[in-house]
Amino acid sequence: MVHITRQIDVAATPEAVFAVLTDLDRLPEWATIVADTRDVSDDRPLQTGCTFRHTIRVMGQELDTDWQVTELGSGRLLAYEASSALGGRLGMTQTIMPRAGGSTVRLEVDYDLPGGFLGDLLDVAVLEAQNEREAERSLQNLKALLNG
């Protein structure tokens, strides 16, 4: 399993950050791998157990993934997991920590590559480096969105 952790300081309150993170329709605005979000369950406002679908971009390919919110904690934590028909596993946790002048947003990503033919084709080192860059770019996009 691969684990990536990145964090960034933003000039927005934890409440403002949480509002953006839990608005699944806004994910394509800042999350670099998300092409679209659809089929969001009717659990609004977002809550544990909510399901949705993303089309994500991985190594130049689009992949449909099914997601479920696994934890939603007091306006400071959002965790979800994904699966796809090709296998593998992806878990993501976003934590918001208040700080003077705004918030710190920490993004943690854990994933296992799919097995079989697709897994054999992937260069693990290249993919891991790309995923680290995508996490960093996503946080920079989130910062730009929140800081206006």
- Domain of residue 58 covers 2-147
Q: How many domains does the chain have?
A: 1
Query: DSSP letter string over the chain?
Result: -EEEEEEEEESS-HHHHHHHHT-GGGHHHH-TTEEEEE---S--S--TT-EEEEEEEETTEEEEEEEEEEEEETTTEEEEEEE-TT--EEEEEEEEEEETTEEEEEEEEEEE---HHHHHHS-HHHHHHHHHHHHHHHHHHHHHHHH-
| CATH number assigned to the domain comprising residue 73 | 3.30.530.20
pLDDT tens digit sequence for 105-123: 999 999 876 664 455 555 5
**Per-chain mean pLDDT for the chain:** 87
- The predicted model scores a pTM of 0.85
Is the per-residue pLDDT at 43 higher than 90? Answer: no
